[in-house]
Structure 1
Amino acid sequence: MSRYTVEVKSATKTDPEATIGYDRPLRTFFLQAFPDPETDEYALWLGAFLEEHPTLESITEAARAIGYEVCGLTREMMLAMIREAGPPSPPSFGERLGIVL
């Protein structure tokens, strides 16, 4: 799993410590921003489900569609995540047993 720190902005707030990356077991890109200081729950959490966002473009577009902009993605970050997402990974044990859909 890769994790990179980026900035995520909305019309009213900014999280300079947001996290974007690729979760290989779930085969999805993920984005987490705006953690609640009391519960550690995220106001923005995309990519928590199997194959939810298979491309980097799909996750940034999904964030934009709900009013968030991802800033600070470098070329190196993007290439590293795309490389990690490139090779197909086999179904997990849970998937093979029919537990994970």
Structure 2
Amino acid sequence: MPSTGLAHGYPPAARVAHRMLAPAITTLLPGARTARGAARHLAELVVGARLAGRTGLHVVGPRVAESSPQSHDAEAAATLWAESEALIAATAADQVGQD
């Protein structure tokens, strides 16, 4: 994404290429955004009236679509959460044991 400073750690030649190509990418690739455009869409999600009170949506830029039926499966979500917590705890325990 241009004008974000994300390329500041790139080697000099890559920074130049990024500075020259990134603006074109936002015009040529569907879904690519400038920092300003992305911020505008994010602000609309947070405080805009168009989506107020709506949940379970899949949002890409200005487009909104209902999310898949699987994303509304509360049991699957609870299982995913519990298994993720267990994996994080196991990873943390392994890292503590390595110190």
Q: Which has the higher helix share?
A: 2
TM beyond 0.5: no
Q: Which has the higher strand share?
A: 1
- Structure with the bigger RCO (C-alpha within 8 Å, sep 6+) is 1
Structure showing greater Rg: 2
- TM-score by length of structure 1 reads 0.22
